[in-house]
Structures are given as C-alpha cells and as structure tokens.
Amino acid sequence: MAEIVLRDLVKHFGSAVAVAGVHLQIEDGEFLIMVGPSGCGKTTTLNMISGLETPTSGEIFIGDQVVNDLEPGERGLGMVFQDLALFPHMTVFENIAFGLRVKKTEEAEVERRVRAAADAMHIGALLDKRPSECSGGEAQRVALARTIVNDPSVFLMDEPLSSLDAKLRLDMRTELKHLHHRLRATFVYVTHDQAEAMTMADRIVVMEGGRIEQVGAPLEIYRRPASRFVAGFFGVPTMNFLEGEVAAGAGDGLEFRSTRVVQPLSASTPAAVAGSAATLGVRAEHVRLAPSDDGAGRVTLTEPLGDETLVFFEFGGSAPLVAKVDPDSPLGPGDPVAFDFDRDWCHLFDPESGARLN
C-alpha cells in the first residue's frame, strides 16, 4: 500500500512560514499534482514527503507508518528533480545503476534491471554515454529510468518538465501519463503550470501561501473553483472579474450589479448572498458577444488562435473583458458590441476573502 497521508504539516524557515498546516490524503495509485505559484509551499511539501526537509510539526504517513524520522532512502520513494540531477561524471548505465549499487545488489542483477529499465524508457542505446551527451528529452528519460529501476511505490516529481522546450514538454506529458497507467504507482507531481496539472492529474491540489486552496479533479477545479485565486490561476485566458454587489432582481431571482453591467444570476444562487458586495467571475467562453450599434462595449483587440478567437473589449468598467468567439466572427478593433454572461457559469466570490459565494 502506498497511500500517503499528510496530517497538519507545517514548515517554517526561520520566521518565514513555507507550509502552514497541510492536510491531505493521497490515494494508492493516484496521479496527484500540486500546483501553485512560486513560493506557495508545493515543493517544500514534496520535499517533506521525500524526507529531504524535516517538518516543523505534523505527521507524514506512508501506508500506515509514520515516516517523519525515516531517512529519504528508507521511505521507498523515487524522485525526479527539476534539474534532473543526473550524475555528470557517470555514464547513463552507472546513473541508472546507482540506487541498486547503494543497496549492494548483485552485479548480474544490476545489469539485468538497468537494461530492463533502459528498454522501458527507450534509451537502451545510450547506456555508455555521459548525461552531457544526451539531449534534453533523453536526459529526462534517463532520470525516469533511474527512478523506475528502484521500483518505488511512489514517484515524486518536482517540475521535471520545466527544462524542456514546449514541443518536447507536450510529448513528455503524454508519456508520463502512459507511464503512470503502466506502473500503477502513486505519482505526486509538483508544477506551477496549470496546463500540465489539468492534462495529467487524476486530482489537483491547488496551493497558495502555504495552504491548500482546493483539492479536486481537474474539471471540477476548472468548473467550480473554490476561491477567486483558483479561478484566476486556472484557464487561459484568465477569468474575467468584475467588482459589484448582489441584489434582488426584477423577477424572483438575484442579479449582480456593477458599473454598466446588470447580470441575472442562476436560480441556484443562495439567497443569503443578496445585499452583499461580491466579485463576479466569468470565463471567456461564457461571455456572449453580438455586434450591435447601441451595445455597451467596444472591441479593442482580437487574438485569433485558429480554433477560436479571443476578443478583448472595453465596456466602461475598470478593466477590459475578454470573450472567446467563433474564429469566423467578423469582429475587429473599434467595433461596437453588446455582451452578456451565461448565467449558469457566473462565479461569485467574496471580495475580501476570495471565498466562493454561490
């Protein structure tokens, strides 16, 4: 069993609080991705699981054993580092064999397992080379093979794709997902790239300021962000935000009022929100645009992406809004537009705490 439980995990560096009470259960065989901006505590959390950092307080369970006092090498984990950390003075073979030799494995067994791991990662031809002679993608595979060969039940990965170019990164994402399916091991993966998290994870942990903001499946996080921070962190382009207040509408429903915007809200909006200040969040794909001479908006910029086009428009509010439209849309800079939002996809957040209101 490779279930990991973090209980009230806290880490201080001097007076700075890196991780401020993390509570998390990682299921056996799960691909869990911790995501957040720099300094949110995700890498520190990973390092505490690995044993490279000692928690200030709290407990870490692997299986049903508390591992706080175990050395990194005794926890049965494998780790891939951001800079890959291949040993430059050793050949690829020696790199992969390192962990086995530490455990004084018989040399014939070392040979057999290194070759098996290398074949699994398609780097059998590189075994006599030095890491410096490998390309970025090859080095990545060597680092994975070096981890796989030790047969860990949990793989920890600290932004392993960040050193690759964009194309290779996409390929490696697919490959990592395949690897996870094949090995059925637990993957704990840290990244600051929300797209990486969305594409690979079974579950995403969003962190900010040393705390967990939200835990959930990728689509759940995208569709129902628990806070304004999560809403703004996921999705490209960034979600539109409007400051205003919630009030009783014309019918029996509620509506959101802001400068030049009155947006009816869905019937499921809790009545308790009425009368309070709120931040309305709406994604670009839920903004509906129509050319209209007496519309409130005016297009400032368009960005064709091929399969869709982003339209930025002013409407007299504090910041321009962005909408996703059909690529064949005739809209161009200067065109007047009318706009409204899909009421089922309007997110309301507390302007102070950022917590979700609806």
Partner 1 sequence: MRPGGRSRLRRYRQAWVRHAILLAWTFFIVFPLYWMLSTSFKDAGEWVSWPPHWYPHEFTIHNYRQIFTFSALGEELSRDATEQAFSIWKALGDSLLICSVASFLALVLGVFLAYAISRFAVGGSKFRHIILTIRMVPPIVIAIPILMYYAIMIPFTTELLFGARITLFDTYFGLGALYVATTLPFVIWMMLSFIDEVPFTLEHAARMMGAGRMYTLRRVVLPLVASGLVVTYLFVFILNWSEFLLALTLTHPEVTTLPVLLNKFQSASEGRLYGPQAAIGTVITIPVVVLGVLIQKHLIKGFSFGMIRR
**Shortest reach from residue 60's CB to partner 1, in Å:** 15
- Whole-number CA gyration radius for the chain: 25
**Residue with smaller CB distance to partner 1, 83 or 326:** 83
CB 164 within 8 A of CB 137: yes
Burial readout 212-229 (b: 16 or more C-beta within 10 A, e: otherwise): bbbbbebeebbeebbbbb
Q: Which is nearer to partner 1, 5 or 52 (CB)?
A: 52
Residue pair 255/244 in contact (Cβ under 8 Å)? The answer is no
**98 or 222, CB closer to partner 1?**
98
**CB 10, min distance to partner 1, A:** 21
Nearer to partner 1 among residue 150 and residue 227 (C-beta): 150
For the bound state, the minimum distance from the C-beta of residue 121 to partner 1, rounded and expressed in Å, comes to 17
Residues making contact with partner 1 (CB under 8 A): 50-52, 71-74, 77-79, 81-83, 85-89, 98-99, 102-103, 146, 150
Residue 90 has a CB neighbour count (10 Å cut-off) of 14
Whole-number minimum distance, CB 65 to partner 1, in Å?
A: 17
Give the nearest distance from C-beta 154 to partner 1 in angstroms: 11
Minimum distance of partner 1 from residue 48's CB (angstroms): 13
Between helix 166-183 and helix 136-148 the angle, nearest 10°, is: 20
Using the minimum distance from each CB to partner 1, give the nearer residue, 104 or 167. Answer: 104
Give whichever of 81 and 312 is closer to partner 1, judged by the CB atom: 81
- Residue 173's Cβ-count burial label (10 Å; 0-12, 13-18, 19+) is middle
Distances (CA, A) of 213 to 13, 29, 225: 21, 23, 9
Q: Are strands 211-216 and 65-66 parallel, antiparallel or unpaired?
A: unpaired
Phi-psi region at 40: left, alpha or beta (left = phi > 0; alpha = psi -120 to 50): alpha
